[in-house]
């Protein structure tokens, strides 16, 4: 039972499953979610939401890790899958959609965020894998909903339905954000900087699974890792390696200098840090001074300061290595995650509405141990006086996140819908509209 709201839970549960299985069948990688966005937008439009696309929700100049070469292909595929041209035009090349339900009555502005992208992993071909034997496995080889964002998108639509049906009993404004490119932490910053969340008083987000069993709710996950993903592009000058090596500018040598120095960054006394160079591609031929090198790496830290420390060292090393070998270096950010700190007021509120939403065990704190794009959104809301929370909705899993055998417990989507509906209801009944900034 959802607090004072009209909901046919059985029918809703069935629709959540249908939504989730459709998203699962048509998975799209980060920044390629054209079909997914179109389907979501179609449902939201029918429910009467005001829709926001493109520059309204994403600051293009802070987009990270988006490869223009993939975009046209992804749009074409989305059209063959049945994406609506009207929505593709409004997206203008940038995926994701924001929806606003304005009740017209005074009250708080509340936002809930759902990430919608899939993972670049091959889905299991095993006959015992449920999406396969029930016929909703990925139709895109090498891409699969192996993190549960298909369920997040479905939960978002379920919430959208319940809110729209009960609009007359609500106050204030509710914003639903269907976020692209969470994988690799690529969109959070651009969405935060668009300002779309700047009027938000209460912000909610959640992840399904994350090693939390079905029935359990983790109200206050902690220790999110801050991280910076980057590519270093070194550009030198080619030359004949025998006739005039002195005329060349060796980009490969600069990249190698950078790698050895990056792995030798003196560690910070204040806590855990990481640095990794995962890939290095350079050179053209054995007898040519290498004119180009691309290095892909990342830093991490247990807090923002420690990650910033590591990243600043990387920048300095990149510049110095380039200068040493007479080449140019271009540093391209590919993704970024900052820490995330929940507001106690909302941790308590979520814990309070958990049991009535169908959770049998409520856990206060748990180590998160990974990075989350939502950190930017939470930070943006909190820096403007709003309150925010990111919690974990338990689900038994068939395999770990980002594994081809990954599948969720679909019965856990309904409690997630009820949790957020009850949280919104609770905020609305306890907040005095005059207190809202």
Closest to Zn ion by CB, 165 or 396: 396
In this structure, what are the phi and psi dihedrals at residue 222, rounded to the nearest 5 degrees? Answer: -130, 170
Measuring CA to CA, which residue among 346, 331, 334, 418 is closest to residue 378?
346
Closest to Zn ion by CB, 151 or 253: 151
Stretch that binds Zn ion, among 104-112, 146-154, 314-322, 324-332 (CB under 5 A): 146-154
Closest to Zn ion by CB, 147 or 185: 147
CB of 3 to Zn ion, least distance (A): 28
Closest to Zn ion by CB, 147 or 289: 147
Q: Contact between 397 and Zn ion (CB under 5 A)?
A: no
Q: CA-CA distances (angstroms) from residue 182 to 85, 179, 279?
A: 24, 7, 22
- The count of other CB atoms within 10 Å of the CB of residue 193 is 16
Q: Contact between 282 and Zn ion (CB under 5 A)?
A: no
> Which letter does DSSP use for residue 204 in this model?
E
Measuring CA to CA, which residue among 431, 354, 427, 428 is closest to residue 392?
354
CB of 207 to Zn ion, least distance (A): 6
Q: What is the DSSP string of 215-274?
A: TEEEEEEE-PPEEEEEEEEEE-B--BTTT-GGG-B-HHHHHHHHHHHHTTPPPPTTS-EE
Structure tokens at 305: 């300061």
Give the list of residues 6+ apart from residue 399 with CB closer than 8 angstroms, or none: 124, 405, 406, 407
Restricted to residues 11-30, the positions that interact with Zn ion (CB under 5 A) are none
CB of 219 to Zn ion, least distance (A): 19
Closest to Zn ion by CB, 40 or 164: 40
Closest to Zn ion by CB, 107 or 339: 339
Residue 111 zone, left/alpha/beta (φ > 0; ψ -120 to 50; rest): beta
CB of 372 to Zn ion, least distance (A): 8
CB of 371 to Zn ion, least distance (A): 10
Restricted to residues 316-355, the positions that interact with Zn ion (CB under 5 A) are none
CB of 290 to Zn ion, least distance (A): 38
Stretch that binds Zn ion, among 55-63, 141-149, 163-171, 428-436 (CB under 5 A): 141-149
Consecutive H or E run containing 192? helix 188-194
Per-residue burial over 242-267, b if 16 or more Cβ lie within 10 Å, else e, is: eeeeeebbbbbbbbbbbbebbeebee
Tell me the C-alpha distance between 152 and 154, whole Å: 5
CB of 385 to Zn ion, least distance (A): 28
Closest to Zn ion by CB, 144 or 147: 147
Tell me the C-alpha distance between 129 and 405, whole Å: 7
Q: Contact between 63 and Zn ion (CB under 5 A)?
A: no
Tell me the C-alpha distance between 74 and 55, whole Å: 19
CB of 1 to Zn ion, least distance (A): 30
- How much helix, strand and coil, in percent to the nearest 5, is found in the chain? 40, 20, 40
Closest to Zn ion by CB, 101 or 147: 147
E strands present in 269-327: 273-282, 292-301
Stretch that binds Zn ion, among 83-91, 147-155, 358-366, 369-377 (CB under 5 A): 147-155
Closest to Zn ion by CB, 109 or 147: 147
Closest to Zn ion by CB, 147 or 218: 147
Q: Contact between 119 and Zn ion (CB under 5 A)?
A: no
Q: CA-CA distances (angstroms) from residue 201 to 59, 68, 109, 418?
A: 21, 35, 5, 20
CB of 244 to Zn ion, least distance (A): 52
Which residue's Cβ lies closest to Zn ion? 147
- Of 32, 88, 137, 147, which one interacts with Zn ion (CB under 5 A)? 147
Stretch that binds Zn ion, among 125-133, 143-151, 212-220, 333-341 (CB under 5 A): 143-151
CB of 149 to Zn ion, least distance (A): 6
The SS3 assignment for 301 reads strand
Stretch that binds Zn ion, among 35-43, 145-153, 300-308, 324-332 (CB under 5 A): 145-153
Q: Contact between 155 and Zn ion (CB under 5 A)?
A: no
The site that binds Zn ion (CB under 5 A) totals a number of residues, namely 1
Tell me the C-alpha distance between 240 and 410, whole Å: 62
Closest to Zn ion by CB, 150 or 379: 150
Binding site for Zn ion (CB under 5 A): 147
């Amino acid at each position: 039972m959802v607090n004072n709201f009209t909901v046919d839970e059985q029918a809703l549960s069935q629709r959540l499953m249908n939504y989730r299985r459709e998203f699962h069948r048509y998975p799209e990688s980060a920044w390629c979610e054209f079909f997914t966005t179109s389907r979501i937008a179609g449902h939201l439009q029918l429910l009467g939401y005001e829709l926001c696309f493109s520059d309204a929700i994403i600051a293009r100049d802070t987009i990270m890790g988006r490869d223009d070469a993939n975009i046209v292909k992804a749009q074409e595929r989305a059209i063959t899958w049945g994406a609506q041209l009207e929505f593709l035009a409004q997206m203008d090349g940038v995926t994701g959609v924001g929806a606003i339900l304005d009740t017209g009555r005074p009250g708080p502005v509340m936002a809930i965020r759902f990430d919608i992208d899939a993972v670049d992993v091959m889905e299991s071909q095993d006959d015992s894998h449920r999406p396969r034997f029930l016929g909703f496995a990925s139709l895109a080889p090498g891409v699969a909903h192996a993190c549960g964002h298909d369920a997040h998108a479905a939960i978002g639509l379920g919430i959208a339905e319940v809110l729209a049906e009960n609009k007359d009993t609500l106050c204030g404004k509710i914003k639903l954000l269907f976020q692209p490119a969470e994988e690799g932490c690529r969109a959070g910053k651009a969405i935060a900087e668009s300002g779309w969340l700047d009027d938000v008083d209460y912000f909610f987000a959640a992840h399904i699974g994350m090693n939390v069993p079905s029935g359990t709710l983790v109200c206050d996950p902690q220790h999110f890792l801050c991280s910076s993903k980057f590519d270093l592009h070194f550009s030198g000058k080619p030359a004949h390696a025998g006739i005039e090596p002195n005329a060349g500018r060796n980009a490969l040598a600069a990249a190698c200098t950078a790698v050895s120095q990056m792995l030798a960054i003196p560690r910070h006394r204040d806590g855990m840090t990481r640095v990794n160079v995962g890939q290095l591609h350079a050179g053209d031929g054995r007898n040519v001074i290498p004119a180009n090198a691309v290095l892909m790496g990342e830093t991490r830290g247990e807090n923002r300061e420690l990650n910033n420390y590591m990243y600043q060292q990387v920048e300095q090393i990149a510049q110095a290595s380039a200068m040493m070998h007479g080449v140019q270096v271009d540093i391209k950010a590919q993704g970024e995650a900052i820490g995330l700190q929940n507001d106690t007021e909302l941790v308590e509120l979520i814990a309070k509405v958990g049991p009535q939403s169908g959770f049998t065990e409520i856990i206060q704190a748990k180590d998160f141990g990974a990075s989350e794009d939502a950190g930017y959104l939470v930070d943006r809301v909190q820096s403007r006086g709003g309150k925010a929370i990111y919690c974990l909705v338990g689900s038994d899993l068939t395999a770990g996140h980002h594994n081809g055998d990954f599948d969720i417990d679909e019965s856990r989507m309904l409690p997630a819908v009820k949790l957020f509906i009850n949280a919104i209801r609770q905020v609305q009944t306890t907040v005095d509209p005059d207190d809202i900034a």
